[in-house]
A and B are shown apart, each in its own frame.
Chain A
Amino acid sequence: MDFELTDEQQLIRDAVREFAETEVTPIAAELDRDHRFPYELMPKLAEMNLMGMPYPEKEGGAGADYVSYVIAVEEISRACASTGIIVSAHTSLATWPIFKFGTEAQKDRYLADMASGRRLGAFALTEPGAGTDAAAGTATATLHADGYALNGSKMFITNAPYADVYVVFAKTDPERGARGMSAFIVEKDTPGFSVGEAEHKLGIRGSSTPPVYFADCRIPKEALLGGEGDGFKIAMQTLDGGRIGVSAQALGIAQAALDASIAYAKERVQFGKPIANLQAIQWMIADMALEVDAARLLVYRAASCVDNGRPYSTEGAMAKLFASEAATRVAGKAIQIHGGYGYTESYPVERNYRDAKITELYEGTSEVQRMVIARSALR
């Protein structure tokens, strides 16, 4: 068993860390404070080939392995969890289903632009009444002579309204439930498509997640991704990969909270000595370091499964469940170590704490991950 990163993975980690510390960290607090999408980072991320890392170069991607991709999401999220999920949602949720299920014509039209970062993607599955129970969605796609008409609404759509391409799930046969769901590619300027007001969130405030609406939104038949009725399968398989991206985001948040805590514990003097000398602090640091390392092993293991062509649904669920809950615990301890200062915006750990919570919720709640894991264990 080899726990060492390859040369390329180490160099990618160092380069993304350097990029994140130079370009992302300086604006992270402001993005959070102002609920502002980091549009100025999009061309820089594209120039660094960070918007399509696991896709082949001939498809516009960087041609990196999946472990390298999650390392990149981790390092970006360490600086700014909002930017981390923008990259992850674009790469894992929007680009992947087109790469995996798209026709040659669809790939020609979208893939190179998305994998190179020229066009930003979004994934529209969740509805006001259909979150964990995604099959209960009520958005419809009605077949007409010249294509489909989409009607309904979606919510919590990461990257809207900045995204150019949306992978949208709607019922082509509502009577058949999950089997009546289909996936479509919708371009942002399509008549009948609109974006609602931004949500005001607890954390990841630099990531935009408004609702999107479809009112007799006409799209061509060629916009169907996969076959009619394949939508639920496409959504679930896409989320299997997306969860690994979220687990990497959670890992980055946890690492940031640990880093900040170690630095603070060494410089904060109480009772005449740095608080790092106090056993109460040391034990918290030890537990945090342990959780971060365990999370990293699970996250990299799940990504390694993708690289090796092995099933990764359960491994991805384990990585996401553990890393997300660990991130919340680690960030909570980070505030405890910082004391009253940790509760203020003077230090980044309060942002880490707020950002961590979402990783337990989106792309499958912790409860869904436990369902996936239990189903596998009891099979």
Chain B
Amino acid sequence: MRIVLAYKWTCDPEEATVRADGTVDWSRAKPGLSAYDPVAIELARQCADAVGAELIGVTAGDAGVAAPIAAKAALGRGLDRVVIVEDGSLADAGRSELAAVLAEAIRHIGDVDLVVTGDSSVDVAAKMVPTVLAGELGWPAVAEVTSITGQAGALRVERAIPGGVQVLEISGPAVLAAAADAAAPRVPGMKDLLAAAKKPVELLELAALKISPPDAVMTVTGRARPERKARAGQLIDTADPAKAAAELVTALRQAGAL
């Protein structure tokens, strides 16, 4: 069985600042594995260990994604090897383009039975890549996955749904997006980190991949910050909770919020 883990090397938006014109300054943000990817790696690693599968990381992006430290950080978390598509044009790639590149890299690897991704990327958080990637591959996509067991062609997947758990049986290859809390990611040990440099890293040229041009291109044409609204500063001053609630409801209705 061959499992692919699609990960993202990016910056934490908490370390970014928003300029006056609404654009984001990432220059002081430290790059790293996207926050939910270690969860996905842990979930996939558990599945791979249970069935003796190979776990291959796949990622795509601009120059930073192919930096040795980026590959080592991912490999140190438990991947067996990584395949990296690096191209400057991917710096501003949209979700569809990125998914198309990842799909082609997965076809390049070949014989892949399962793709696991994180819940969302920490920088964009669009939650689109797993679904679009599945569409590119012609496979089913499942989000909010909390457990993966079984074998290739006979996977048993659990996903969180409002008020319970949905259990799915999947007979063919699939793209599974791990729930944000699907597994507690292990902190890599010192030996894991030092061994990462010895694991295989395959760099793919974007030009070498046969990627169809997207049918429609989405371009960001503007950014605006929401206008700050003046606060009412209205104080409800009573020790009676019922009276306070009634006053709050009245005030919210008067403000048009209810």
- What residues of chain A have their CB less than 8 Å away from a CB belonging to chain B? 7-8, 10-12, 14-15, 18-19, 22, 47-50, 53, 57, 62-64, 68, 72
**B189 pairs with A11, CB closer than 8 A:** no
Q: Does B69 contact A (CB under 8 A)?
A: yes
Q: In the assembly, what is the distance between CA of A203 and CA of B123, in Å?
A: 42
Q: A11-B69, A11-B76 are in contact. Are A64 and B194 (CB under 8 A)?
A: yes
6 closest cross-chain pairs (CB), A and B: A62-B190, A49-B190, A7-B69, A19-B187, A49-B189, A11-B193
Return chain B residues, CB-CB under 8 Å to A12. 190, 193
Q: A7-B68, A8-B197 are in contact. Are A62 and B73 (CB under 8 A)?
A: no
**B191 pairs with A10, CB closer than 8 A:** no
Q: In the assembly, what is the distance between CA of A15 and CA of B32, in Å?
A: 12
Q: In the assembly, what is the distance between CA of A48 and CA of B193, in Å?
A: 10
**B194 pairs with A15, CB closer than 8 A:** no
Q: In the assembly, what is the distance between CA of A306 and CA of B57, in Å?
A: 36
> Which residue of B is nearest A50, CB measured?
B190
Q: A7-B68, A11-B69, A11-B76 are in contact. Are A68 and B190 (CB under 8 A)?
A: yes
**A48 pairs with B72, CB closer than 8 A:** no
Majority-rule SS of B interface residues: helix
Majority-rule SS of A interface residues: helix
Q: In the assembly, what is the distance between CA of A22 and CA of B191, in Å?
A: 19
**A7 pairs with B72, CB closer than 8 A:** yes
- Other CB < 8 Å A-B pairs besides A11-B76, A22-B187, A48-B189, 10 of them? A11-B72, A12-B190, A14-B32, A15-B187, A15-B193, A47-B189, A48-B187, A62-B190, A62-B194, A68-B190
Q: In the assembly, what is the distance between CA of A19 and CA of B187, in Å?
A: 6
How many residue-residue contacts, CB under 8 A, span A and B? 48
- Chain A to chain B contacts (Cβ below 8 Å), 24 pairs: A7-B69, A7-B72, A7-B197, A8-B72, A8-B194, A8-B197, A11-B69, A11-B72, A11-B76, A11-B188, A14-B32, A15-B187, A15-B190, A18-B187, A47-B189, A48-B187, A48-B189, A50-B190, A53-B190, A62-B190, A63-B194, A64-B194, A68-B190, A72-B190
**B69 pairs with A48, CB closer than 8 A:** no
Q: Which of A10, A15, A64, A68 has the most CB of B within 10 A?
A: A15
Q: How far is the CB of A4 from chain B (nearest CB, A)?
A: 11
Return chain B residues, CB-CB under 8 Å to A22. 187
> Which residue of B is nearest A17, CB measured?
B187
Q: Which of B73, B190, B197 has the most CB of A within 10 A?
A: B190
Q: Which of A7, A19, A63, A72 has the most CB of B within 10 A?
A: A7
Contact of A8 among B32, B189, B193 (CB under 8 A): B193
Q: In the assembly, what is the distance between CA of A72 and CA of B193, in Å?
A: 13
> Which residue of B is nearest A11, CB measured?
B193
Q: How far is the CB of A53 from chain B (nearest CB, A)?
A: 6
